[in-house]
Amino acid sequence: MNIQVVNATGQPPGWGGALLREVLGKFLSGLPLLAGYLMVLGHPERRALHDLVARTWVVVRRRAR
């Protein structure tokens, strides 16, 4: 799919950021009624709650040829 999770500097988030995003952030995104995931539909940068909590972005990476 050529996507990557990065922090504000464009680097992978590291262990702390990844754990924050994947454990706490995704738990909060599921409460209530998956509202944290659905907020992507109205957010100008298409970021879900778990991305906002961990200060991460999902970006599309192009393959080098």
* 61 compared with 23, residue with greater pLDDT: 23
Only one residue has tokens 């998956």, namely: 34
What does pTM read for this prediction?
0.85
Only one residue has tokens 């950021």, namely: 17
- Confidence class of residue 63 from pLDDT cuts 50, 70 and 90? confident
The predicted pLDDT at position 1 comes to 86
Please state, in angstroms and as integers, the Cα–Cα distance from residue 42 to each residue in 37, 39, 46, 48, 49, following that order.
10, 5, 7, 10, 12
